[in-house]
Amino acid sequence: MISIEAEPINTRPKIYRRTRKIIRKLAVSVSRKMWKLEITGKENVPTNGPFLIAPVHRSNVDFLLAALITDINANFMAKDSLWKIKPLGRFMEHMGAFPVSRGKPDRHSLKIGQQVLDEGGVLVL
């Protein structure tokens, strides 16, 4: 099991926050062009945490699209198989993700998610 401590994105060093902001803007731009993405109802999304975003998961990019609906930095619970590709795993961690084992109980990941929410963060499942 990979041990990663949850750390709300807003408490990370400035370089993380700046990089994340740039990547978010790029992802929003690309998503809007690729999928002709239109966001409606954004005014119904809370402006501060804690809260959960739980997309339906019809594709592997649902979590990204769900995160793009808000300008608030979120932490992501992502399938642990993504960490098998080391550069991808590091990138995911940089962006606020942590792994969850699917198909079996994963109390460690649930504790991390609870910690994110307890500290006022936003969690994307």
Ordered per-residue pLDDT tens for the chain, 125 residues: 334 444 555 556 677 778 877 887 887 788 778 877 777 777 888 877 799 988 877 777 776 677 666 667 788 898 899 899 998 888 888 778 899 998 888 999 999 999 999 988 889 88
Write down the pLDDT at residue 48.
79
Residue 2 inside a domain? The answer is: no
Straight-line distance from the first to the last Cα atom of the chain, in angstroms, rounded to the nearest whole number: 19
pTM: 0.74
Residue 106 inside a domain? The answer is: yes
What's the DSSP call for residue 43?
Answer: G
Number of Cβ within a 10 Å radius of residue 71: 11
- Say if residues 76 and 124 touch (Cβ distance below 8 Å): yes
Residue 113 inside a domain? The answer is: yes
Residue 58 inside a domain? The answer is: yes
Write down the pLDDT at residue 12.
62
Residue 69 inside a domain? The answer is: yes
Write down the pLDDT at residue 6.
47
* The one-letter amino acid at 109: S
Alpha helices in 9-124 (DSSP H): 14-35, 62-68, 86-94, 107-118
Write down the pLDDT at residue 109.
92
Residue 16 inside a domain? The answer is: yes
Q: Which two tokens stand for residue 118?
A: 């307890």
- Total structural domains in the chain? 1
**Distance between CA atoms of 78 and 125, rounded to whole angstroms?**
7
Write down the pLDDT at residue 25.
80
Write down the pLDDT at residue 67.
66
Write down the pLDDT at residue 2.
36
Domain that holds residue 57: 9-42+49-124
